[in-house]
Structures are given as structure tokens and as C-alpha cells.
């Protein structure tokens, strides 16, 4: 089958404290400390084999994510930028939907022809974190397209328990559009997890600031508007991404370059301050860290973006204003069902942020195009006829 494969050199940095398990599995917890000179190549890969608890999918749509870009891009030292778990070589692609073309012997709830979106986080269900309900923080985690083969390929075998049917969306929009929307359930689920599951204090009428108008930030914007937000202020240095934010209903979309964030936020909230801050840009040292005069009493800060530089936080200001802060990782479980329902009901339509739909043959050009961060989301369609 045709597939887009990530390769890189195994070159642990001096002083990196690598565990024996990381070395044995060649699965470092910090990819940017180990993998050097990453590259991507479109070519032939072995067809996947089917296990009894899996379904075989013909991949219909797969999004190119910021994580994919950070595994492909390098810093000045030629090491990949992504700071999380990474295996290489590996087929990329973790935001996807497909059609079931074969069903394993032990699968009961899926049939040939079903349209599904699939969780990227492959939680084990047996470790202490999973048993306590924290499946996003599974202690024996695998991640499709990051630690195991992903969906930038014609076919993928996936365990049935990670699959979610797209019936409701297909009934409203048709199968082709349901599959494109299904590819955006995963990134939207990441935002849903951060906004509504990490803290349980959301109130309609909140003033909200979102840093980053990439796919995760735009998904957060769509969800927060559907949930009854008042002012929704989006910051992004990209003019085209600010246009996406405005098109999708932001109250204001501002360039953060060279401005005082506190003053700008106070001006756009009529001096009342912000109730929810959502970091989706991965540069908390430049976004969250400066905020000390614009936080309303009982404000919440949700840090979703993955970045390399840790911020120095104004803890005294947090204490004075009663601020709570939570980190958010992943999307597993419940968010998929909720996001699919919201899409099917027409409450959110993430197709608005799709810049282009391209065949898998154009994958290399699409990655190159995304280096400028002008597009919001490019969808690859590996089995496009």
C-alpha cells in the first residue's frame, strides 16, 4: 500500500536521562532529545494484518496536525521539534476517519461498510491510570501515527474499541462529508477535553481568550461559542488564520506581536477581564506567562498546546484573583461521542477551517505548504477516486 513514512536518526543528546525501557523500545518520551534529521517519504509499505479484535479501514480522510509538522520540522540543532513520545520509522497520521472493509473475528459492534473516526490514544485499560478513569494518561500508552503506524496510508487496522461510528453525521451531511468531518473529531476532541473535562466550571457568558488559531484553537473557538461564550478574543500572528477565526465567529482576532496582551484583553472585555484563557499555540512563555492584570476573579487557564519552553507563572496574581490552572492532554473516550453529536446537530462545523482536500500523492507538497502556518487544516484523502 502507499503510505507517508517518517524516518529519523537515533542520536540521544548528551545528558539526556533515558530509561532502559525507552532504549529497549526505541520510544523516547522526549522525541526532540533523541531523533535527529527527521524526514518524510511517500512510498510503498506492507499492507496491515488484521487481529481478531480489530477492523480494517480504508482511510478516507486524514488531517495534517501540528504534531505531524513538529515531528517533521527541526530546530537549529537538526533535532525534531516535537517534545513527546515518538517512534521512527513510522507511518504518520492520527486525525482520521475511514470505512470498515473487514472485521476481526472477535468484533461485535462494527460491520463492513461502517464509517468511523478513531481515537489516536491507544489506552491499555489495565494500568492504574486507566483503571482510575484517566485514560489520556495511560502508563502503557501507544499513539496512532506517533508511536505506532498511522493513517497517512491507504489502509489501517484499528482495535474496534477505539472506533466511533459517524452515523449521525452521515445522515445529516452524506457519507463523503461525514468522513471529512470525522477526520476532525480527534483535534476537536482535544479541545473538548481541555475546555470541559479538565475543569468542571464552565459558565455560559464567560469572556474567553484563545491563543493560537490553528486547528486546535479554532476547534476550541467553535466549541466555546456553541457553549454560550460572550466575548471570544483570538490571538495569532498569522493574518490568514485570524481570518479563519473571524469567519468562524470570533469577537476579535488580534496579532499579538508587539502589543501589551493585558491592555488588549482589558479593552476587549470592557475592563472586566477574562474568565477563560485557552492556550493552543504551544508558547505558554509568550502567552500565559505575561497575563497578570487581565484575569477576572475566579478565572481559569487551560494549557493545551505542546511547547518546548516552560513559562514562569505569576503565582501571586493567581492567588490574588483566585485563578485555577489545568493542563490538558489528549482526547480519549467521552469527547469523541460528544463531538460527533455536536457535529451531527449542526452546532459546530469544522469544515470551515479546511483549506484544501488533497490526494495522498500530494502529501509532501502539503507538508511544505504548511510550514508557513497560513493554512488552518489540510485534509489528505488516501483512497480518493
Average pLDDT (288-296) is: 96
Question: Can you give the pLDDT at residue 200?
Answer: 87
Residue 12 pLDDT level (bands cut at 50, 70, 90)? very high
Q: Is the pLDDT of residue 169 over 90?
A: yes
Those residues with Cβ within 8 angstroms of residue 17's Cβ, 6 or more apart along the chain or in another chain: none
- Give the H/E segment covering residue 57: strand 54-63
Cβ(84)–Cβ(33) under 8 Å?
no
C-alpha cell of residue 123: 489506552
C-alpha cell of residue 112: 463492513
Domains 2-186+331-381 and 199-327 share a fold: no
Those residues with Cβ within 8 angstroms of residue 133's Cβ, 6 or more apart along the chain or in another chain: none
Tell me which fold the domain 199-327 belongs to.
Answer: Rossmann fold (3.40.50)
Q: What is the pLDDT of residues 63-110, one digit of tens each?
A: 999 899 999 999 889 999 998 899 999 999 999 999 999 999 999 999
Q: What percent of the chain has pLDDT over 70?
A: 99
Smallest CA-to-CA distance from 147 within 124, 164, 125, 165 is with 124
Average pLDDT (273-285) is: 95
Question: Can you give the pLDDT at residue 309?
Answer: 77
Average pLDDT (140-164) is: 97
Question: Can you give the pLDDT at residue 107?
Answer: 98
User: What are the CA-CA distances from residue 122 to residues 110, 111, 153, 248, 313 (Å)?
Assistant: 18, 21, 19, 31, 32
In terms of DSSP bridges, do strands 232-235 and 142-143 run parallel, antiparallel, or are they unpaired? unpaired
Question: Can you give the pLDDT at residue 310?
Answer: 81
pTM: 0.93
Average pLDDT (38-61) is: 97
C-alpha cell of residue 340: 460527533
Q: Is the pLDDT of residue 332 over 80?
A: no
Question: Can you give the pLDDT at residue 225?
Answer: 98
Q: Is the pLDDT of residue 385 over 80?
A: no
Question: What would the DSSP string read from start to end of 152-219?
Answer: SBSEEEEEGGGEEE-HHHHHHH-HHHHHHHHTTHHHHHHHHIIIIIS-----TT--EEEE--SHHHHH
Residue 330 pLDDT level (bands cut at 50, 70, 90)? confident
Those residues with Cβ within 8 angstroms of residue 301's Cβ, 6 or more apart along the chain or in another chain: 277, 279, 288, 291, 323, 324, 325, 326
The burial class, CB within 10 Å (0-12 / 13-18 / 19+), for 239 is exposed
Delimit the domains of the chain by residue range.
Answer: 2-186+331-381, 199-327
Q: Is the pLDDT of residue 333 over 80?
A: no
> What is the four-CA torsion angle of 298, 196, 137, 53, rounded to 10 degrees?
170
Q: Is the pLDDT of residue 360 over 70?
A: yes
Q: Is the pLDDT of residue 254 over 70?
A: yes
Those residues with Cβ within 8 angstroms of residue 12's Cβ, 6 or more apart along the chain or in another chain: 18, 28, 33, 34
Q: Is the peptide bond before 89 cis (omega within 30 degrees of 0)?
A: yes
Question: Can you give the pLDDT at residue 375?
Answer: 87
Question: Can you give the pLDDT at residue 178?
Answer: 98
Q: Distance between CA 138 and CA 127 in Å, rounded?
A: 7
Cβ(214)–Cβ(242) under 8 Å?
no
Report helix, strand or coil for 56. strand
CATH, domain 2-186+331-381, list 3.20.20.210, 3.10.20.30, 3.90.180.10, 3.40.1170.60: 3.90.180.10
- From its phi and psi, is residue 333 left (phi > 0), alpha (psi between -120 and 50) or beta? left
User: What are the CA-CA distances from residue 90 to residues 3, 8, 39, 143, 152 (Å)?
Assistant: 10, 10, 11, 11, 10
Question: Can you give the pLDDT at residue 248?
Answer: 95
In terms of DSSP bridges, do strands 208-211 and 163-165 run parallel, antiparallel, or are they unpaired? unpaired
Amino acid at each position: 500500500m502507499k503510505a507517508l513514512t517518517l524516518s529519523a536518526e537515533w542520536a540521544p543528546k548528551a545528558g539526556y536521562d533515558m530509561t532502559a525501557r525507552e532504549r529497549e523500545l526505541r520510544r523516547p518520551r522526549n522525541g526532540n532529545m533523541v531523533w535527529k534529521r527527521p524526514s518524510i517519504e511517500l512510498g510503498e509499505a506492507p499492507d496491515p494484518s488484521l487481529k481478531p479484535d480489530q477492523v480494517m479501514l480504508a482511510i478516507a480522510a486524514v488531517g495534517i496536525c501540528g504534531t505531524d509538522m513538529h515531528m517533521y520540522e527541526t530546530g537549529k540543532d537538526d533535532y525534531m521539534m516535537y517534545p513527546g513520545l515518538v517512534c521512527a520509522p513510522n507511518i504518520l497520521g492520527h486525525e482520521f476517519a475511514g470505512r470498515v472493509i473487514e472485521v476481526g473475528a472477535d468484533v461485535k459492534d462494527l460491520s463492513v461498510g461502517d464509517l468511523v473516526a478513531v481515537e489516536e490514544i491507544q489506552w491499555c485499560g489495565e494500568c492504574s491510570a486507566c483503571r482510575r478513569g484517566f485514560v489520556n494518561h495511560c502508563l502503557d500508552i501507544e499513539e496512532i501515527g506517533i508511536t505506532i503506524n498511522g493513517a497517512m496510508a491507504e489502509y489501517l487496522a484499528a482495535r474496534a474499541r477505539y472506533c466511533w461510528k459517524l452515523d449521525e453525521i452521515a445522515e445529516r451531511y452524506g457519507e463523503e462529508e461525514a468522513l471529512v468531518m470525522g477526520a476532525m473529531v480527534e483535534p476537536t476532541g482535544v479541545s473538548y477535553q481541555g475546555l470541559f473535562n479538565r475543569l468542571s466550571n464552565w459558565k455560559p457568558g464567560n469572556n474567553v481568550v484563545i491563543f493560537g488559531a490553528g486547528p486546535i484553537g479554532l476547534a476550541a473557538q467553535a466549541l466555546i461559542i456553541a457553549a454560550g461564550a460572550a466575548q471570544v478574543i483570538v490571538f495569532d500572528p498569522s493574518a490568514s488564520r485570524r481570518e479563519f477565526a473571524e469567519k468562524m465567529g470570533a469577537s476579535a482576532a488580534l496579532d499579538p506581536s508587539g502589543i501589551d496582551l493585558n491592555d488588549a484583553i482589558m479593552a476587549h472585555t470592557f475592563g472586566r477581564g477574562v474568565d477563560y484563557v485557552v492556550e493552543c499555540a504551544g508558547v505558554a512563555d509568550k502567552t500565559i506567562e505575561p497575563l497578570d492584570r487581565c484575569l477576572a476573579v475566579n478565572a481559569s487557564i487551560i494549557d493545551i498546546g505542546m511547547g518546548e519552553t516552560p513559562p514562569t507563572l505569576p503565582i501571586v496574581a493567581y492567588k490574588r484573583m483566585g485563578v485555577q490552572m489545568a493542563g490538558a492532554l489528549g482526547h480519549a473516550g467521552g469527547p469523541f461521542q460528544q463531538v460527533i453529536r455536536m457535529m451531527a446537530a449542526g452546532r459546530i462545523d469544522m469544515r470551515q477551517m479546511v483549506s484544501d482536500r488533497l490526494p495522498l500523492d500530494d502529501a509532501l507538497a502539503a507538508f511544505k505548504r504548511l510550514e508557513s502556518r497560513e493554512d488552518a487544516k489540510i485534509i489528505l484523502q488516501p483512497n480518493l477516486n
